[in-house]
Each structure stands twice: as C-alpha cells, then as structure tokens.
Amino acid sequence: MNLFVAKLNSSTSTKDLQNLFSHYGLVTTVKVIFDHGTGRSKCYGFVEMPNNHEAHEAMKELDNTTFQENVIAVKESQPTDDRIPSNGTRNSTVQSRGYGDSQELRVRPTLIIKSQRDDYGRRNFGYRGSDYRDFI
C-alpha cells in the first residue's frame, strides 16, 4: 500500500521517514518530494509498505501526530488516474466527459480578453469632453 505523508518538516529526509514507518512493518520505498528549481523540500512524501495491515496500522497511529516539530497527516495515496480534476484551472482546458476521457475542450482566451475590452472601452472614466469611440 502506498501512503501519502503531508505537512512534513522541511528538513525531513527519506531516512527519517524510513525510520518512522519501519516501527510498524516492512517499508519498501520512501520518497520525500523536492522542488527541482530550488532543491528545497515540498514538505510531503510517499511511503510504500507491502503489507496492507501494517500500512493501515501505521496510518492509524501516525495520522495527526507530531514528527520533527510538525503535526503530520498520513493518508492512503490515490493513483494519479483516479484523482478528480480540480475546478481551479485557468482558461486552459475543461474536461468534456467523464474523468478518464482524453477528449478535451479548449477555451479560447481571446474571447475573454475581447469581452473585458468591451466592458472597459465603453466607460467614460469621468473625463470632461471625452468622447466614446468604438475602437473594437
């Protein structure tokens, strides 16, 4: 079972996580995620344990506990294909059907810019003698 560990201390290493989770059973892989640009920790990581019973026990015991001065969160990791897409996307893509479809609908940002220009172009802004000209 793959576990997601969040809210780690920025100085936490893979060896630290290995030692923490090895008290509950066999740990096959440990990864602390780092930012490629800065080389600093992103304060989360993944721990893989082959025995599901031991992994559930570790998750139950370590979730919301203090580790290296931080209260960590331990959850079961979700595969990337099963994640629900966020609604906070910018004007890039919108899923047109279910989660697994590869078909996408592209949003044209030029329409958004033009509508903003329409709104601002028709305002007077309080200048005396300013004539409105439709420049679109």
How far is residue 20's CA from residue 14's CA, in Å, rounded to a whole number?
10
pLDDT of residue 96: 42
Q: Which domain holds residue 38?
A: 2-76
**Residue ranges in the chain modelled with pLDDT below 50:** 89-115, 117, 134, 136
Residue 136 lies in a domain: no
pLDDT of residue 79: 79
What are the pLDDT digits (tens) for 63-72? 999 999 999 9
Q: What is the CATH number of the domain that holds 31?
A: 3.30.70.330
What are the pLDDT digits (tens) for 86-100? 555 444 444 444 444
CA Rg value for the chain:
25
pLDDT of residue 6: 96
Based on the domain organization, do 71 and 95 belong to the same domain? Answer: no
How far is residue 112's CA from residue 105's CA, in Å, rounded to a whole number?
16
pLDDT of residue 103: 41
Based on the domain organization, do 7 and 46 belong to the same domain? Answer: yes
